[in-house]
Amino acid sequence: MKSYELGLYEKAMPSSLSWWEKLTAAKKAGYDYLEMSIDASEEKIRRIYMSKQERFELIRDMYQTEMPIRTMCVSALTKFSLGNPGGGKGRAGHGKRREIHRACGGLGHSRRHDSGV
């Protein structure tokens, strides 16, 4: 057994690849897991609102490829001012953060990294 695990950051691959293709490529390259990105782009922010069916399909892909997504890098919150005492951005940011925690649990994530928070 290895004393470490090595993960591949999703953004190291072309965004045009499907989850299946990303997971398969990471497995073939010898990585232990893939890290999902939730950055400030609308495409990636939408991931926190995945339906149950979308989450199920991603989990199925992880099982079938034997490549887990173990971590999630969340830099999207830098777009929202969490510390803004009187702004809508702060409220929106806290709402996004709650959704991110729900999404993590829905995908079986036990670890996440909130960049810039």
Amino acid making up residue 58: L
Q: Which tokens belong to 14?
A: 């072309």
Residue 24 or residue 108, greater confidence: 24
Question: What are the tens digits of pLDDT across the range 63-106?
Answer: 999 999 988 887 766 655 555 555 555 555 556 666 665 666 66
CA distance 117 to 46: 20
Question: Residue 51 — pLDDT band, cuts 50, 70, 90?
Answer: confident
Q: How far apart are CA 51 and CA 83, in angstroms?
A: 29
The pLDDT value given to residue 116:
46
